[in-house]
Amino acid sequence: MRIVHYTSSRARVISSRALDFSAAREGGKWSCISAFCLCALMLLPALASPSPQDIERKIDALISRMTLEEKLGQLQQLDGDANGEYRSEHLELARKGLLGSTLNVRGAKRTNELQRAALESRLKIPILFGFDVIHGYRTVFPVPLAEAASWDPDAVERAESVAAAEAAASGVRWTFAPMVDIARDPRWGRIVEGSGEDPYLGSAMARARVIGFQGRDYSSPNKLLACAKHWVGYGASEGGRDYNTTDISERRLREIYFPPFKAALDAGAGTLMSAFNDLNGVPTSANSFTLTRVLRDEWKFDGFVVSDYESIKELVNHGVAADEADAARAALSAGVDMEMVSRLYGKYAPGLLREGKLAERTIDDAVRRILRIKFRLGLFERPYVDESREQAAIMSATNIETAREVAARSIVLLKNERDVLPISKDVRSIAVIGPLADDQLDMLGSWSGDGRREDAVTLLAGIRAKLTPSTKINLAKACSLALNGDSSDAASIGEAVRAARDSDVTVITLGESADMTGEAAARASLDLPGRQLELVKAVIATGKPTVVVLMNGRPLTINWLADNAPAILETWFLGSQAGNAIADVLFGDINPGGKLPVTFPRSVGQIPLYYDHENTGRPADPNNKYTSKYLDSPVTPLFPFGYGISYTKFELTNLHVSSQTIKRDGSVRVGVDVENIGKRAGDEVVQLYIRHIAASVTRPVRELKGFQRVALKPGEKHHLEFALTSEQLGFYNSDMRFVVEPGDFKVFAGTSSIGGLEAGFRVIE
């Protein structure tokens, strides 16, 4: 059931006034009458919260008084400057009631100034201030792909809650997050903004992020309105090139790409963003199937849809609109309510109405949806932000500690031969090598909100904080991150080799710069940029114990490292506390427990490569040429989805199902024991997969249907249970009906998407 947020700040205003009124004292003590009034008035918030009917009546009254120009103003979002300033025209438009929303305007003082202008307008409709709070506001958390690697929705919810509180204190009331696109092509730069390749994990993370941003009542002064994006299929862009075409069957849309959006809406997300891409011949910002039939008719979504940046204007480039006026008609008629940055609605809608190409009801419906969210957000009752709260809410000690904890939980240990890790704090000398070792800006990753370089802790700083002054640290940047290398790199690599030889252990950072991932950052190659591979080969050739610390926003093709580096930590871009979190793991204060949310391929030629593929009539067989495989590469991944190891060892035993047969509408419980059989405390993520052996349409070889991250001390054992219901066992048949079909199912419990324990059950009529 979708959580609908009708609670308004109006109730809080009444309550606070009531408390002030009832604060009468008699002889320094509360009078009985005052106490009675106080108790009675404390009940008013629940009674005074506007009902859905109250909100709709208020919207009706407003719309009946609005001019066409004022209605179209509500459908317009304009961008401010990158530094958070509003533009001079914004004040003029706001005073006329012609500006519904802004992008990038932030800071309590600035937003209050612009809001004050809006409340000078005839109808006093407040402005909705939006900003890209993707993985933190000032306190920057790990990039979303990294947070997904934690396999810990509670940790992700805490991170987004911090981000919401900081942003809200700065006047921002709407974030363009979470990005819930399923992405199976790591060449696509925006894979960094999502949760990877799997719809089940993606749905869990979507739900956690929406609840973190919005809470149970997004009118609360420390919460943000969430916006699930990009609706829909954007993560399947052909060739991994941003903004590119997608062609996705309806079954795949419903089973792979829709579920995280549905999870976000079920968690209460008030808005969605339409995408840039063409979907099956109809761009998503003019696609009535996705915007109206699915979103409004099937899912009963009553919030509003905002376009992506000028995506309505781009309908002309797509070739589905003859001109800008046609683009405005197509998008608004399909169900895009608010136009981001471009101004086609306001410019062309009056003419379209006169020509009979656009219905006034269509405009009114869009205005209604936007006003509905503004009422639910409490903007009419509490349009201003408390400027005195802003400084205290930003980068508090608690926020910083939370960022460090979430960052450490997002790290994935890919390899650890001969127990190179953890490093002893008594080490006499350590080489810290690589272009990212002391780079503050890149620690923040892409789309880092209002994060500041000077607040970021580098790996070098984190290592220094762990060691005594007697430990010698040999630093060498070694080479650039330039895609084609740099002419000075050869000499720098030599310096790195000398630093490694002069040290007992080497930590080498490799990967990408932050601007190599994110929007408009597609890569045709997934190899380490520049001369980094040459660098790491030279360092490992010294024979010194070497730990590779990867910093990146996508899977990379690191075959040589997987074969030759003694230890590899995948740390992604971890945000403000990156250096401290990585050092916590390097020196064993924290045992890494993250798992990959996306498959690491051996080569670009394997893409797309994901674990829940369908089988073929000729599954790969190394002993048979005429099977589905390559001549020059294994078909298996370098590192599979769900993979990640630890400084300790875990064992799974006693997999069992509660019943060998269930009915279509029944459920089955699956239990398994997990034990820490190593010598250190640590976390394991136990993953539950299913396979429907034979159905009316082909089913994946495995599908993730449950996971639990559990902390265990040495020798400790836990019994875990999972429930499989029709929701997990069903699929869309050839008629696009969601069904549970009779047949045999396999159940797998493991620590990655490969291997594990196996059991089974049967669904009967």
Q: Where in the sequence numbering do the catalytic residues fall?
A: 308
Asked if 522 and 242 count as a contact pair (C-beta separation under 8 A), the reply is: yes
Tokens 């990408």 sit on residue: 512
- What would the DSSP string read from start to end of 89-139? HHHHHHHTT---EEES--SHHHHHHHHHHHTTSSS-PPPEEEE--SSBSSS
Contact between 268 and 5 (Cβ < 8 Å): yes
**Phi/psi of residue 548, nearest 5 degrees:** -95, 125
- Taking alpha carbons only, the member of 182, 188, 267, 196 closest to residue 230 is 182
Dist. CA 104–CA 343, nearest whole Å: 17
Strand partners, 569: 413, 549
546-551 sheet: strands from edge to edge: 412-416, 567-570, 546-551, 505-511, 429-433, 472-476
Q: 81: left (phi > 0), else alpha (psi -120 to 50), else beta?
A: beta
Assess contact for 612 and 703: CB atoms under 8 A. yes
Q: Helix, strand, or coil here: 762?
A: strand
Distance CA 521, CA 189 (A): 5
Residue 491 to residue 415: CA distance in whole angstroms: 30
What's the Cα-to-Cα distance from 94 to each of 76, 120, 121, 616, rounded to whole Å?
11, 8, 7, 59
Query: What span, in angstroms and rounded, lies between the C-alpha atoms of 704 and 690?
Result: 7
How far apart CA 70 and CA 59 sit, in angstroms, is 14
Please give the Cα distance from 497 to 480 (Å, whole number). Answer: 16
- Which amino acid makes up residue 460? L
Give the separation between CA 572 and CA 552, rounded to whole angstroms: 5
Q: CB-based contacts of 587: which residues, under 8 Å, 6+ apart? A: 422, 423, 424, 425, 466
Which secondary-structure segment (H or E) carries 415? Answer: strand 412-416
Contact 130, 270 (CB under 8 A): no
Residue 357 near residue 371 (C-beta atoms within 8 A)? no
Distances (CA, A) of 331 to 177, 316, 356, 363, 370: 21, 11, 16, 11, 16
| Residue 188 near residue 150, CB atoms below 8 Å | no
**How far is it between the farthest Cα atoms of the chain?**
96
In single-letter form, the type of residue at position 622 comes to P
- Return the percent helix, strand and coil in the chain, to nearest 5: 35, 20, 45
How many alpha carbons fall within 13 Å on the CB side of residue 122? 13
Other Cβ atoms within 10 Å of 45 Cβ, number = 19
What is the distance of C-alpha 218 from the center of its chain?
18
According to DSSP, residue 87 is labeled P
Three state DSSP letters for 460-528: HHHHHHHCCCCCEEEEECCCCCCCCCCCCHHHHHHHHHHHHHCCCEEEEEEECCHHHCCCCCCCCCCCC
Distance of alpha carbon 312 from the chain centroid: 24
What span, in angstroms and rounded, lies between the C-alpha atoms of 641 and 651?
19
Spatial distance between the Cα atoms of 459 and 467, rounded to a whole number of angstroms: 13
Which residue(s) pair with 691 in the sheet?
746
SS3 175: strand
